[in-house]
Chains A and B, each alone.
Chain A
Amino acid sequence: MIVVQGASVVTAAGMETADVAIEDGIVTAVGSLPGPERGTLVDGTGLVLGPGFVDLHVHLREPGETWKEDVDSGARAAAAGGFTAIVAMPNTEPAIDSAKVANLVFDSSRGAVVDVLVAGAMTKGRLGLEMADFDSLYEVGVRVFSDDGDSVADAGLLRRIMIYLSDLPGVVVAQHAEDKSIAAGGHLHDGLVGRKLGVKGLPASAEESVIARDLALVAETGVHYHVQHVSTRGTVDLVRAAKERGLRVSAEVTPHHLTLTDDATASLDPNTKMYPPLRSDEDVEVVRQALRDGVIDIVATDHAPHTEAEKDVPFEDAPRGVIGLETAFPLVLAALDGDVKTLFSRMSTTPAQLVGLKGQGRHVEIGAPANFVLVDPTETWRVSSFESKSSNSPFIGAELRGRVKATISGGNIVYRSPN
């Protein structure tokens, strides 16, 4: 038995101070409780206990690149960031384009400290040429499909994919929107910083033109379409308009796109290189506001581990992507101006609902599965080391406000912060 005492608890009605008892993986009591006769007492004074975070977009590098990360280390990084469920993207080697490959990841995830789900590729080998093995993937529980890292460029193929997948209940078609013919040769935002450096940029239109095209297909097919890592003002406008039309559209934004601009790339630090790139001040302000308003539904980290040696090269040669699980909470808290209630919606309840995770994103109430996070919204701490195998973060050395103190997954305490 675990009893968390004195925390401010996130319930359906709002926040209230209460003690919470957890036994056999579920909440057994909420109220004013004595300490457990046996088991663990957690002092929650001054802390917030809420539903564990759910990340629909991580890269666990398994199979194929396990020197960067694997399911086990990625799950530990997730726990350290307060996540109790993560969805692994399929851009592995080989790509997760069939149940056979998905099962490799599921096998590894059995001992993982948090729930690890798998997204399936939209096309075989993520080559954008023919449909992945949707039926076998669906059969083993895959609900999110994406060729993340690449767009499905062929509109005819994507249309046929959407038509096919719209028959399968609960499926989400997630697009990494990047028109290669526009983005080719780009390494950072096509803006003043990049032009001054002489490093070619990815224009906002590379993202927006793909989404504009896709939305026409969504209107036709009725599929649930999810925009991955929104980075531009124009994308926010497209998503808002699509929602107003009543299309089944959802969108995510990363903590780094909420908090950093392309000014950070002026140093040519490879840990500021990711696709989509860090955008302008105006873009950051618009995506922040869109997250507050709910036009952007959720936060997803796009946790993308690369080793130090791989990043110890000129910016233009560096692999794209940064890790994000372990710094997400304080960054999103800052982007939401400290609004904890909205944070739990954007990082937990809403992402869980989008992909139909019944045991995740549940408020703290009797009978709820105990997948929770205990956070201190006011503690400041310096980012120095990671549970992830990789440390390619633009926030190394930064002092952040808001810290994950403990993570409870499946009724077990799977992470406690040092000190």
Chain B
Amino acid sequence: MSLFDVAQLSTDQIVGYLDRAESYRDKRTTELVDTVVATLFFEASTRTRLSFESAASRLGAEVMSFTPESSSTSKGESLKDTAMTVAALGAELLVVRHSRAGASELVAGWTGVPVVNGGDGRRAHPTQNLLDLLTIRRHFGRIDNLEIAIVGDIENSRVARGLIEVLPRLGNHVTLVAPGPFVPASNPWNVTLSRSLDDVIAHVDVLYLLRVQKERGGGQGFPGDAGYHQRFGMTLHRQEKMRPGTMIMHAGPINRGVEIAPEVADGDRSLILEQVRNGVPIRMAVLATAMTFGMSQ
């Protein structure tokens, strides 16, 4: 079964992924021995790519790795031709990251091979959403009845889009905190919107910070990093206003000194590295599930 967007998953399926991830923690299995998993990352990535490849290898799979710089994409090969080529080389499961919305669905349609979306444009990044939920569950013991603020460049964030869909559905209250360029007043989400981090900081369980995505034009909507840090940056001063138990999350990579002060990122209220650690077991669960259903189709 392909995984394109967290929106396609029922609550039971989400919990199933989290449980399965826990069962894989710090383990190796042979479930995907003799299976070829290809990672097609048309966009730069550190943690997502490495954790997918680590997850595949811990499941015993053979990993084929593709990067555009060292491939025929740099010679102008189309997404379709690249996907068909990788499938013809024997890939039985594809992980696709691409700058364009809907790329993973197209690849699945063209190749007939199950695809896990490793991030498509600004639209979806389901494995990040699942590892965030795993992190929340491990820390808070639940994935419902939490106050969660998502702060920053929501407009350009595929991570935020998934969280905004899934968190309220699971029974959490979400507040978006961002300046106008990052969330227009007219937005498609029926969630609370605030223009001030200081107004919400004392009332939440989780502050989920987003990177200002300059590569997607995210830097054009405000005067500069310093001003952003002043209004929306997570500083030590602001951290002191948080109630006990409030935790800080971030999908990475972080821009120290912009959305988060270094002392906060490295401090005891930060779950940032815990999120990274949860990436491998979640991706093991996703890959193993994709292959199980993929073969039965």
Complex Cα gap A195–B161 (Å): 9
- Residues from 68 to 119 in B contacting A, C-beta threshold 8 Å: 78-80, 98-103, 105-106
Total A-B Cβ pairs within 8 A: 54
Residues of B contacting A193 in the complex (Cβ-Cβ under 8 angstroms): 188
B188 touches A198 (CB 8 A): no
Q: Which residue of A lies closest to B80 (CB)?
A: A312
Complex Cα gap A195–B98 (Å): 18
B101 touches A316 (CB 8 A): yes
Residues of B contacting A195 in the complex (Cβ-Cβ under 8 angstroms): 155, 184, 187-188
Residues of B contacting A185 in the complex (Cβ-Cβ under 8 angstroms): 217
Complex Cα gap A411–B79 (Å): 49
Q: Of B79, B106, B123, which one neighbours A198 at CB under 8 angstroms?
A: B123
Residues of A contacting B101 in the complex (Cβ-Cβ under 8 angstroms): 197-199, 268, 314-316
Residues of A contacting B78 in the complex (Cβ-Cβ under 8 angstroms): 313
Residues of B contacting A316 in the complex (Cβ-Cβ under 8 angstroms): 99-101, 121
B100 touches A197 (CB 8 A): no
A314 touches B79 (CB 8 A): yes
Complex Cα gap A199–B156 (Å): 9
Q: Which residue of A lies closest to B122 (CB)?
A: A198
A198 touches B100 (CB 8 A): no
Q: Does A358 have its Cβ within 8 Å of any Cβ on chain B?
A: no
Task: State how many angstroms separate the Cβ of B108 from the closest Cβ of chain A.
Answer: 13
Q: Does B192 have its Cβ within 8 Å of any Cβ on chain A?
A: no
Q: Of B99, B121, B161, B184, which one neighbours A196 at CB under 8 angstroms?
A: B161
Complex Cα gap A195–B165 (Å): 13
Q: Does A366 have its Cβ within 8 Å of any Cβ on chain B?
A: no
A199 touches B121 (CB 8 A): yes
Q: How many chain A residues touch the partner (CB < 8 A)?
A: 17
Q: Does A192 have its Cβ within 8 Å of any Cβ on chain B?
A: yes
A317 touches B100 (CB 8 A): yes
Q: Which residue of B lies closest to A187 (CB)?
A: B101
Q: Does B250 have its Cβ within 8 Å of any Cβ on chain A?
A: no
Complex Cα gap A193–B98 (Å): 20
Q: Does B283 have its Cβ within 8 Å of any Cβ on chain A?
A: no
Complex Cα gap A200–B122 (Å): 9
Interface of chain B, main secondary structure: loop
A314 touches B106 (CB 8 A): yes
A198 touches B161 (CB 8 A): yes
Complex Cα gap A198–B155 (Å): 7
A192 touches B186 (CB 8 A): yes
Q: Does B211 have its Cβ within 8 Å of any Cβ on chain A?
A: no
Q: Of B98, B102, B187, which one neighbours A268 at CB under 8 angstroms?
A: B102
Interface centre among A185, A313, A314 (most CB of B within 10 A): A314
Complex Cα gap A192–B106 (Å): 23
Q: Which residue of A lies closest to B123 (CB)?
A: A198
Interface centre among A192, A198, A315 (most CB of B within 10 A): A198
Residues of B contacting A312 in the complex (Cβ-Cβ under 8 angstroms): 80
Task: State how many angstroms separate the Cβ of A204 from the closest Cβ of chain B.
Answer: 12
Task: State how many angstroms separate the Cβ of B155 from the closest Cβ of chain A.
Answer: 8
- A314-B102, A316-B101 as given contacts; A192 in contact with B158, CB under 8 Å: no
Complex Cα gap A248–B11 (Å): 60
- A192-B186, A313-B78 as given contacts; A198 in contact with B158, CB under 8 Å: yes
Residues of A contacting B188 in the complex (Cβ-Cβ under 8 angstroms): 192-193, 195-196
Task: State how many angstroms separate the Cβ of A61 from the closest Cβ of chain B.
Answer: 21
Residues of B contacting A197 in the complex (Cβ-Cβ under 8 angstroms): 101, 123
Task: State how many angstroms separate the Cβ of A367 from the closest Cβ of chain B.
Answer: 56
Complex Cα gap A199–B188 (Å): 13
What sequence of 0s and 1s flags, for each residue 295-332 of chain A, a beta carbon within 8 Å of any chain B beta carbon? 00000000000000000111111000000000000000
Q: Of A192, A199, A313, A315, which one neighbours B80 at CB under 8 angstroms?
A: A313
A314 touches B122 (CB 8 A): no
Q: Of A191, A192, A199, A313, which one neighbours B123 at CB under 8 angstroms?
A: A199
Residues of B contacting A314 in the complex (Cβ-Cβ under 8 angstroms): 79, 98, 100-103, 106, 121
Residues of B contacting A191 in the complex (Cβ-Cβ under 8 angstroms): 186
Q: Which residue of B lies closest to A192 (CB)?
A: B188
Q: Which residue of A lies closest to B107 (CB)?
A: A314
A315 touches B102 (CB 8 A): yes
Residues of A contacting B161 in the complex (Cβ-Cβ under 8 angstroms): 196, 198
Residues of A contacting B80 in the complex (Cβ-Cβ under 8 angstroms): 312-313
- A185-B217, A192-B186, A317-B100 as given contacts; A199 in contact with B122, CB under 8 Å: yes
Q: List 12 A-B contacts (CB under 8 A).
A: A185-B217, A192-B187, A195-B184, A196-B161, A197-B123, A199-B123, A268-B102, A313-B80, A313-B106, A314-B103, A316-B100, A316-B101
Chain B interface residues toward A at CB < 8 A: 78-80, 98-103, 105-106, 121-124, 155-156, 158, 161, 184, 186-189, 217
Chain A interface residues toward B at CB < 8 A: 185, 191-193, 195-200, 268, 312-317
Contacts A198-B156, A200-B217 known; list 8 others, CB within 8 Å.
A197-B123, A199-B101, A313-B78, A314-B100, A314-B102, A314-B106, A315-B102, A316-B100
Rank and list the top 9 A-B pairs by shortest CB-CB distance, nearest first: A198-B122, A314-B100, A192-B188, A198-B123, A268-B102, A196-B188, A316-B100, A314-B103, A199-B101
